[in-house]
């Protein structure tokens, strides 16, 4: 009997929608202590900067003025965290799984962006992606990303950050009904993957990261505050990062005069300081 394919939850990257504020966002995230790649330009019309870590990365996604009409559907989401992206080695296999689970959207799409590697040579980062049906993911997107040219993304020199960050450790979705918000990922990866926590949150382990589904009160306790425009609907809202040394995070913030809260060897940044995303740094 043939075994039916089932995907494994592994965080590939997260997407922060910065729309027409790529310049401002790149300045701010460098002030936060991240090394960012040079601006990339997708064949689809969007542009980005990346903060690359060992196994995952952060993407600041927006557009330059001449491309405002391209990928217009992306810019309808609020400024802030709008992309939860999973690793895959076969986007077509993921699409067949999405079809079986009644989670499918469009068929896999392929695109690229030119890249200048650290040694000065020209390359291309090429991808195949397949998205969960948009109606199932409020205020953002969740999709699988197959890296056809991983060396054009994961370069060791790009993984060295002044703030010492080594990985995205947590992705947070705030919702009035966390169990319901987690349901789509329960269907995607299997009900046994979602853990109920004593504090009322639900957690999905995703390799070196976790995805947390929690009520507003829980997220405010953990991160201090929510985006000013949070309206109670399910929303991608916060990120945690693991750093080599919390002192490196603090030094970056003090140098840039960015306000922060520090307690028990954890530093928290309010959403208003990071393009509508609450940030938490820990060792």
Report the distance separating Cα 183 and Cα 180, nearest Å. 5
Mean pLDDT of 25-51: 97
Q: What is the CATH number of domain 165-282?
A: 3.10.180.10
Query: Is the pLDDT score of 205 beyond 90?
Result: yes
Mean pLDDT of 159-169: 98
Start-end of H helices in the chain: 22-31, 91-100, 178-189, 216-223, 246-256
Nearest to 185 by CA among 109, 236, 129: 236
What is the phi/psi pair of residue 54, to 5°?
-65, -45
**pLDDT tens per residue, range 106-153:** 999 999 999 999 999 999 999 999 999 999 999 999 999 999 999 999
**pLDDT tens per residue, range 212-239:** 999 999 999 999 999 988 988 999 999 9
DSSP codes of every residue in 97-155: HHHHTT-B-SPPEEEEEEEE-TTS-EEEEEEEEEEB-GGGSTTSEEEEEEES-GGGT--
Quick one: CA dihedral 86, 88, 90, 93, positive or negative? negative
Q: Which residue has the tokens 């049906």?
A: 133
**pLDDT tens per residue, range 242-272:** 999 999 999 999 999 999 999 999 999 999 9
Edge-to-edge strand list for the sheet holding 122-131:
40-41, 47-52, 57-62, 11-19, 80-88, 141-147, 122-131, 109-116
Query: Is the pLDDT score of 1 beyond 60?
Result: no
Domains 11-159 and 165-282 share a fold: yes
Confidence band for 2, pLDDT divided at 50, 70 and 90: low
First-last CA distance in the chain = 46
Whether 242 contacts 165, CB under 8 Å: yes
Per-residue model confidence (pLDDT) at position 75: 87
Q: Write down how long the chain is.
A: 283
Report the distance separating Cα 83 and Cα 211, nearest Å. 12
Whether 232 contacts 176, CB under 8 Å: yes
Domain boundaries, the chain: 11-159, 165-282
Domain 11-159 has CATH 1.10.760.10: no
Contacts of 40 (CB under 8 A, 6+ apart): 47, 48, 49, 50, 113, 114, 115, 125
């Amino acid at each position: 009997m043939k075994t039916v394919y089932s995907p494994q939850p592994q965080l590939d990257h997260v997407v922060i929608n910065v729309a027409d504020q790529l310049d401002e966002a790149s300045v701010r995230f460098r002030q936060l202590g991240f090394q960012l790649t040079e601006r990339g330009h997708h064949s689809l019309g969007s542009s980005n900067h990346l903060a690359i870590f060992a196994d995952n990365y952060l993407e600041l996604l927006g557009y330059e003025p001449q491309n405002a009409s391209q990928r217009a559907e992306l810019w309808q989401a609020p400024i802030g965290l709008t992309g939860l992206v999973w690793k895959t080695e076969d986007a077509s296999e993921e699409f067949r799984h999405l079809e079986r689970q009644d989670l499918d959207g469009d068929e896999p799409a392929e695109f690229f962006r030119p890249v200048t590697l650290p040694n000065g040579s020209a390359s291309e980062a090429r991808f195949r992606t397949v998205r969960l049906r948009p109606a199932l993911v409020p205020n953002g997107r969740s999709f699988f990303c197959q890296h056809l040219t991983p060396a054009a993304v994961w370069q060791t020199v790009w993984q060295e950050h002044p703030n010492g960050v080594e990985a995205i450790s947590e992705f947070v979705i705030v919702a009035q009904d966390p169990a319901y918000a987690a349901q789509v990922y329960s269907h995607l990866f299997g009900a046994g993957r979602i853990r109920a926590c004593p504090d009322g949150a639900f957690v999905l382990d995703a390799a070196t990261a976790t995805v947390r589904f929690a009520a507003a009160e829980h997220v405010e306790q953990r991160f201090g505050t929510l985006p000013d425009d949070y309206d109670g609907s399910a929303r991608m809202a916060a990120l945690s990062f693991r750093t080599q040394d919390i002192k490196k995070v603090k030094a970056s913030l003090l140098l840039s005069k960015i306000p922060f809260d520090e307690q028990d060897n954890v530093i928290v940044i309010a959403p208003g300081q990071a393009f509508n995303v609450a940030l938490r740094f820990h060792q």
